[in-house]
Amino acid sequence: MPAYLLLLIAILSRLLPHAGAWNFTAVGGALLFFGARRSWREMAIPVAALMGSDYLLTTYTYHYPFQWQAYLITWGWYAMAILLGRILLHARTSTVRVASGALLGPTSFFLVSNFAVWQGGWGYTHDLNGLFSCYVAALPFYRNDLLSTALVCGVAFGVPMFVHRWNEAQKQALIAGK
């Protein structure tokens, strides 16, 4: 249930006015958490839900015609982020693993999506200067994606760990008090 709630928060963080500004959304953390906590059978659900939110944003918020081919890299990354959560965080969750996921997720999206923007001819010259300019222009988005993913992962993985440790401490206190 928490993975689905976090997925809903991720979608809302993209759709609500100004919530998705500068790429400060719950998407990366939600996908990592979903991969870590849900079964393989459910992995298509967040990808499909985010595909739907891409459609809504493109057509109703930005008023552009929807061209599904333009989203293949993004949709592939959604699946990759879930897979990263599954591989890195499913069997064993630790602070180092969560921090690694919070770094690898946004970094991979930054590298892949901006390479696609540069390659697709979205206003950048097709040389190293154009590629460099494309990545530099995306740094504010990358920074906020890193921050938002770290925040969401910290809460999603940290709160249950804190509650578990607190409960264990309470049990030990009861045992010691008897």
For the chain, what are the domain ranges?
Answer: 2-177
pLDDT over 90 (residue 122): no
Closest CA to 55 of 79, 42, 38, 74: 74
Mean pLDDT of the chain: 92
Residue 164 or residue 103, greater confidence:
103
Instruction: Give the model's pLDDT for residue 15.
Output: 86
**How much is the average pLDDT of 15-30?**
78
Instruction: Give the model's pLDDT for residue 43.
Output: 95
Q: Which three-class secondary structure string do you get for 64-122?
A: CCCCHHHHHHHHHHHHHHHHHHHHHHCCCCCHHHHHHHHHHHHHHHHHHHHHHHHHCCC
pLDDT over 70 (residue 21): no
Instruction: Give the model's pLDDT for residue 53.
Output: 95
pLDDT over 70 (residue 18): no
| Total residues belonging to the chain | 178
27-37 helix and 95-119 helix, angle to the nearest 10 degrees: 130
Residue 99 or residue 178, greater confidence:
99
22: left (phi over 0), alpha (psi -120 to 50) or beta: left
Q: How far apart are CA 80 and CA 68, in angstroms?
A: 18
User: Cα 34 from chain centroid?
Assistant: 10
Residue tagged 């300019």 (tokens): 133
Lowest mean pLDDT among 4-13, 117-126, 154-163: 117-126
Class of domain 2-177: mainly alpha
Instruction: Give the model's pLDDT for residue 176.
Output: 85
Instruction: Give the model's pLDDT for residue 20.
Output: 53
**How much is the average pLDDT of 133-148?**
95
CA distances from 151 to 35, 112, 155, 157, 162 (A): 17, 22, 6, 10, 15
